[in-house]
Amino acid sequence: MKTSVCSIFADDIKSPYIYCLQEKARNARRILAAEMKYMRRTAGCTWTDYKTNLHIAKELEITPVIDKLLEYKRNWIQHVNRMPRDRLPSIMKHYCPSGGRNRGRPLKRLLDT
């Protein structure tokens, strides 16, 4: 199988970009607000036009960023599930720490998000 330099370069850029978006997905409301602000400017609408966000999104035919992030995460989890259990991503997914716990709220694991 032959891969071009462009596809390798695109994968190298896409991976950190997607990772950055996943980190920001924790603030989903902020992302949605910023996305809608952009869509309103693109559509030429102001808040005084009284158009709903759904109406503007349908008008522009844009898929929300949050949906793309969730799809990427779902695909990644499925990819890790297909891996052998001795691979590092699979080990990290099924990792359960042993020993004492720190005070405070427990940290989130990959499957809890």
Q: Which residue has the tokens 């559509």?
A: 43
DSSP 110: G
pLDDT at 7 (0 to 100): 43
57 contacts: CB under 8 Å, gap ≥ 6:
39, 64
pLDDT at 65 (0 to 100): 81
Per-residue pLDDT of the chain (113 residues; tens, 9 = 90+): 444 444 444 444 455 555 555 665 567 778 888 888 888 888 888 878 888 888 888 888 888 888 888 898 899 889 989 989 888 888 888 777 777 777 888 777 766 66
53 contacts: CB under 8 Å, gap ≥ 6:
36, 39
What is the DSSP track for 76-90?
HHHHHHHS-TTSHHH
User: Rg of the chain's alpha carbons, rounded to an integer?
Assistant: 20
pLDDT at 75 (0 to 100): 92
Q: Which residue has the tokens 């071009």?
A: 4
- CA 32 – CA 63 distance, rounded (Å): 11
